[in-house]
Amino acid sequence: MFQQTAVPVGLLSNISLPKITLSDKSFSMWRKFIFDNTGIYFQNNKKYLLESRLLRRVNYLGLSSFEEYFNYVIDTTNFSKEISHLYDAITINETFFFRNQPQFDSLVTTIIPELIQNKITQGITKIRIWSAASSSGEEAYTAAMIISELVKPKFPNFSFEIIGTDINKAVIEAAKKAVYREYSLHQTSPYYIKKYFNRNGNFYELKPEVRSMVSFKTLNLYDTFAVKQMNNFDIIFCANVLIYFNAESKARVVSNLYDSLNRNGYLFIGYSETLNGVSKAFKLVSFPKTIGYKKE
């Protein structure tokens, strides 16, 4: 044991820490544990990435090996708190506003009008949208801005409920605060920036009218029981997260999302992702410069 009490990482920068490495045996143990809990699968070539991410927690907790950290996490007295720090450490949260513009265009031109036609026949006046791996909220808030700008004026009698979820607690807290750096806005037009953000130095704070359209909570997509509580969605974004799963976990997550969608609802995944070999349940629908997966 190197040191038991938690030391803030910043204070460690001047201290020389013993070099520890993730052995192949330990890598296999950690990979299985992470996969079983999250569906995230670290390929062999991602061993050093996992090592550097885990090292943050090992150092923070003052532990002396990855095996010791493993025992720390699975200890029932630490598990519920530390598992969330572990998820925060190992996930990659890259995102930005208007990341996949053609998907948002298809919502406005085709999908929402089509959904609204169906809803009217059922006497329903609400559309429900879920950003299922929302990171710090940019995708969910993009949907909110687009709806506010281009959909609401045409369909004033319809309400839109937007929910963002992520396994990473820290990014969900950031999403709730809705204060962003310039990078998040690099694909946002000056019109939207001016209309929907308040600038404060290098930070951009989303205006309350957009913030109030979206709610956020932590949710692990690999936890079937938790996902079963997410029902009756008309549109689900699950973008740029399937790439971190393997065939088995992708199939489970996509099947859960299928169950969370209403009939005639749509699933959007990332630009470089596909459901080929993952699910045959959806109908592939083409839109200009993008595709969606429809539940018929």
Ligand X SMILES: C[S@@+](CC[C@H](N)C(=O)[O-])C[C@H]1O[C@@H](n2cnc3c(N)ncnc32)[C@H](O)[C@@H]1O
Q: Which residues bind ligand X (CB under 6 A)?
A: 38-40, 91-95, 99, 133, 135, 139, 166-168, 171, 220-222, 239-241, 244, 270
How would you label 78-107 residue by residue, b for 16+ Cβ within 10 Å and e otherwise? eeeebbebbbbbbbeeebbbbbbeebbbbb
Rounded Cα–Cα distance for residues 234 and 220 (Å): 20
Shortest distance, CB of residue 123 to ligand X, whole angstroms? 33
Rounded Cα–Cα distance for residues 253 and 39 (Å): 8
Rounded Cα–Cα distance for residues 273 and 276 (Å): 9
Shortest distance, CB of residue 155 to ligand X, whole angstroms? 25
Helix (H) or strand (E) holding 131: strand 126-131
Nearer Cβ to ligand X (17/92): 92
Nearer Cβ to ligand X (71/187): 187
Report whether 230 contacts 130 (CB < 8 A). yes
Nearer Cβ to ligand X (26/135): 135
**Taking the C-alpha atoms of 167, 168, 173 and 178 in order, what is their torsion angle to the nearest 10 degrees?**
-90
Nearer Cβ to ligand X (51/139): 139
Residue 290 CA neighbour count, 13 Å, CB half: 21
Shortest distance, CB of residue 121 to ligand X, whole angstroms? 32
Shortest distance, CB of residue 14 to ligand X, whole angstroms? 31
Amino acid, single-letter form, for residue 82: E
Nearer Cβ to ligand X (22/253): 253
* Contacts of 128 by beta carbon, 8 Å cutoff, 6+ apart: 160, 161, 162, 163, 232, 233, 234, 235, 262
Shortest distance, CB of residue 37 to ligand X, whole angstroms? 8
Shortest distance, CB of residue 268 to ligand X, whole angstroms? 9
Length of the chain: 296
Shortest distance, CB of residue 8 to ligand X, whole angstroms? 23
Nearer Cβ to ligand X (99/211): 99
> Which residue intervals of 178-236 are DSSP H helices?
190-196, 208-211, 224-228
Nearer Cβ to ligand X (26/95): 95
